[in-house]
């Protein structure tokens, strides 16, 4: 499954006092096995449930030319069975124990999770360790999953409005470096050319314990969990760490506008993006707050001014890292980008102008303290709500481990966001969100050109 992230902010039903951090302290114990596997434990005995979350430090931006789609293909291969859990056993075992599971592919990582009753922790660890240790890679499985990925592309992307523009076209406008600009789901040609040797090499290179992190969140006893982790993962051999791709972008980004004709779209849309800042830099937190002011909640500026006021926009989503990342898993280079569906009585140029006018208000005048307090309350509420899920906590811990080397940041990042000042917001808007640094993809409805040929 390719995972796309939409709006990151939500509201709790209850009212909250003025925005301050420190509402939640997530227990974190982090350590490393001798083979390099990073392990994070977070105990929560509120409900008898445990989330086992395995993340591998490989995504679409790690792929090589001629091998696009390998990260996504391999996500599918991970459900094809292993030495002691043949095909179908993983799924049936989790479901028969009342659990849920899934996996997803992202630009910089691939993740897998199981959520089970806490007395089934050993079951989840056995399943994850068995496929890390000895995945079933053979011609039949490879052929099956090539077709599965193709079918997913047909159903979820090629036959859905806007998705081809988002997945295939948008990255080519936002990025100059091929590592970031190629399609996240890959091409049919590259999938067809994938050999058993290619896939086996990919597994050995990237699916090793020292290129992964294991997060366990829920009703656990840490000492017991450590013993189980050592039992199931301790003797899996490490591998030489893969060379990290160079993701650097040229410094002289120039404004660009492109039109994409979409035969499946009924109404027009536009994507607008700007190259973003370094992860966890002061500007990163400031743009996090810019996004909240513009798009978070029913009283956001976009909703009040574009949807209710001008009645030009029908719906929108925006985020640091959009469309394939969020502020939490943002790893530069990434954009601040947005997707807006608008009424056909307006033009794309008008919508871009209206968006830029909203940004200009932030650039020309510091945000009012009352509005900023309200937005910070919304941000805080969204963070609290997210942390109520053991799965979301596991995801956040994993991201802070892989991207920053410190899962304990889960307890302090909200402080950094809530400390952003009106002056920082104004400065970041002026620095990053300018027309000369803007990429625009206009998505226009167009008559179909005839049936697509088989790819």
419 alpha carbon, distance to own chain's centre: 25
For residue 23, the model assigns a pLDDT of 59
Contact, 119 vs 48, CB < 8 A?
yes
For residue 153, the model assigns a pLDDT of 85
Instruction: Check whether 12 has a pLDDT greater than 60.
Output: no
pLDDT band of residue 10 (cuts 50, 70, 90) is very low
pLDDT band of residue 2 (cuts 50, 70, 90) is very low
Q: What is the DSSP letter of 303?
A: I
Q: How many helices (H) and strands (E) does the chain have?
A: 17, 11
pLDDT digits (tens, 9 = 90+) for 305-322: 999 999 999 999 999 999
Question: Which residues have a Cβ under 8 Å from the Cβ of 290 and sit 6 or more positions away?
Answer: 336, 362, 425, 428, 429, 433
For residue 449, the model assigns a pLDDT of 63
Residue 221, both tokens: 């006893």
Closest CA to 60 of 160, 176, 187: 187
For residue 448, the model assigns a pLDDT of 63
Residue 431, both tokens: 């620095």
Closest CA to 438 of 167, 260, 173, 64: 173
What mean pLDDT comes out for the span 280-304?
A: 97
For residue 450, the model assigns a pLDDT of 54
pLDDT band of residue 4 (cuts 50, 70, 90) is very low
What mean pLDDT comes out for the span 187-207?
A: 92
pLDDT band of residue 443 (cuts 50, 70, 90) is very high
Q: Please name the helix (run of DSSP H) or strand (run of DSSP E) that holds residue 105, with its range, or none.
A: strand 100-105
Strands (E), 312-417: 313-320, 335-342
Q: What percent of the chain has pLDDT over 70?
A: 93
CATH topology of domain 256-445: Cytochrome Bc1 Complex; Chain A, domain 1 (3.30.830)
Contact, 441 vs 165, CB < 8 A?
yes
Instruction: Check whether 18 has a pLDDT greater than 50.
Output: no
Residue 224, both tokens: 């017991």
Helix (H, G, I), strand (E, B) or coil at 315: strand
pLDDT band of residue 19 (cuts 50, 70, 90) is very low
What mean pLDDT comes out for the span 386-390?
A: 92
Radius of gyration of the chain (CA): 22
What pairing do the DSSP bridges indicate for beta strands 439-445 and 313-320? unpaired
Instruction: Check whether 403 has a pLDDT greater than 60.
Output: yes
Q: What is the DSSP letter of 110?
A: E
Residue 364, both tokens: 């020309």
Contact, 268 vs 443, CB < 8 A?
yes
DSSP calls for 132-178: HH-B---HHHHHHHHHHHHHHHIIIIITSTTHHIIIIIHHHHH-SSH
Closest CA to 399 of 15, 44, 53: 53
Q: Find the largest Cα–Cα distance for the chain.
A: 64
Instruction: Check whether 302 has a pLDDT greater than 60.
Output: yes
Distance CA 47, CA 82 (A): 31
Contact, 414 vs 378, CB < 8 A?
no
Instruction: Check whether 156 has a pLDDT greater than 60.
Output: yes
Neighbouring-strand partners of residue 53:
113, 215
Contact, 145 vs 196, CB < 8 A?
no
Closest CA to 181 of 254, 252, 109, 107: 107
Closest CA to 315 of 334, 325, 302, 300: 302
Distance CA 391, CA 205 (A): 27
Residue 204, both tokens: 């050995």
Residue extents of the structural domains in the chain: 29-233, 256-445
Residue 158, both tokens: 């090629």
Q: What percent of the chain has pLDDT over 90?
A: 87
Residue 303, both tokens: 């909703």
The sign of the dihedral angle between the CA atoms of 224, 26, 281, 271 is: positive
Inter-CA distances, 116 with 27, 123, 395, Å = 20, 9, 16
Instruction: Check whether 32 has a pLDDT greater than 70.
Output: yes
Helix (H, G, I), strand (E, B) or coil at 42: strand
For residue 267, the model assigns a pLDDT of 97
Q: Please name the helix (run of DSSP H) or strand (run of DSSP E) that holds residue 291, with its range, or none.
A: helix 282-295
Task: Say which residue, 12 or 375, is predicted with more confidence.
Answer: 375
Mean pLDDT, rounded, of the chain: 92
What mean pLDDT comes out for the span 3-17?
A: 31
For residue 103, the model assigns a pLDDT of 96
For residue 154, the model assigns a pLDDT of 87
pLDDT digits (tens, 9 = 90+) for 237-255: 999 999 999 999 999 999 9
Distance CA 135, CA 81 (A): 6
Distance CA 166, CA 185 (A): 11
- Residues 29-233: name the CATH superfamily: Metalloenzyme, LuxS/M16 peptidase-like (3.30.830.10)
For residue 152, the model assigns a pLDDT of 86
pLDDT digits (tens, 9 = 90+) for 131-148: 999 999 999 999 999 998
What mean pLDDT comes out for the span 106-129?
A: 98
Alpha helices for 296-368 (secondary structure H): 301, 348-364
Instruction: Check whether 8 has a pLDDT greater than 50.
Output: no
Instruction: Check whether 424 has a pLDDT greater than 70.
Output: yes
Domains 29-233 and 256-445 equal at CATH topology level: yes
For residue 185, the model assigns a pLDDT of 86
Contact, 55 vs 110, CB < 8 A?
yes
């Amino acid at each position: 499954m390719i995972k796309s992230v939409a709006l990151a902010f939500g509201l709790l039903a209850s009212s909250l006092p003025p925005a301050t951090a420190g509402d939640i302290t997530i227990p974190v114990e982090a350590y490393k096995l001798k083979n390099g596997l990073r392990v994070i434990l977070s105990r929560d005995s509120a409900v008898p449930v445990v989330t086992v979350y395995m993340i591998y430090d490989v995504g679409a931006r790690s792929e090589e030319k001629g091998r696009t789609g390998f990260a996504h293909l391999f996500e599918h291969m991970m459900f094809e069975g292993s030495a002691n859990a043949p095909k179908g056993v993983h799924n049936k075992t989790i479901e028969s124990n009342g659990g849920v599971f899934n996996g997803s592919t992202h630009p910089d990582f691939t993740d897998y999770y199981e959520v089970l009753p806490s007395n089934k922790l050993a079951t989840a660890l056995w399943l994850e360790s068995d496929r890390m240790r000895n995945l079933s890679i053979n011609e039949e499985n490879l052929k099956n999953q090539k077709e599965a990925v193709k079918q997913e592309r047909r159903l979820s992307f090629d036959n859905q409005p806007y998705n081809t523009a988002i997945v295939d076209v948008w990255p080519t406008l936002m990025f100059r470096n091929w590592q970031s600009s190629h399609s996240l789901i890959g091409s049919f040609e590259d999938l067809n050319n994938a050999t058993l040797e290619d896939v086996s090499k990919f597994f050995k290179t990237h699916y090793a314990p020292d290129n992964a992190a294991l997060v366990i969140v829920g009703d656990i006893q840490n000492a017991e969990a450590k013993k189980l982790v050592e039992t199931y993962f301790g003797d899996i051999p490490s591998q030489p760490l893969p060379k990290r791709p160079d993701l650097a972008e040229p410094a002289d980004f120039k404004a660009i506008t492109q039109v994409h004709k979409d035969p499946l779209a009924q109404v027009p849309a536009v994507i607008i993006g700007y190259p973003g800042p370094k992860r966890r830099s002061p500007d990163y937190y400031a743009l996090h707050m810019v996004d909240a002011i513009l798009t978070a909640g029913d009283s956001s500026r976009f909703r009040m001014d574009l949807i209710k006021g001008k009645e030009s926009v029908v719906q929108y989503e925006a985020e640091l890292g959009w469309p394939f990342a969020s502020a939490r898993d943002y790893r530069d280079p990434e954009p601040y980008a947005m997707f807006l569906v608008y009424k056909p009585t307006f033009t794309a140029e008008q919508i871009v102008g209206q968006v830029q006018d909203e940004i200009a208000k932030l650039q020309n005048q510091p945000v009012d303290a009352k509005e900023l307090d309200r937005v910070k309350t919304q941000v805080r509420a969204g963070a609290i709500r997210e942390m109520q899920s053991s799965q979301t906590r596991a995801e956040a811990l994993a991201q802070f481990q892989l991207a920053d080397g410190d899962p304990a940041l889960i307890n302090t990042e909200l402080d950094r966001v809530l400390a952003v000042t009106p002056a920082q917001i104004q400065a970041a808007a002026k620095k990053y969100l300018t027309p000369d640094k803007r990429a625009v993809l206009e998505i226009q409805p167009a008559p179909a050109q005839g049936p697509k040929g088989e790819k």
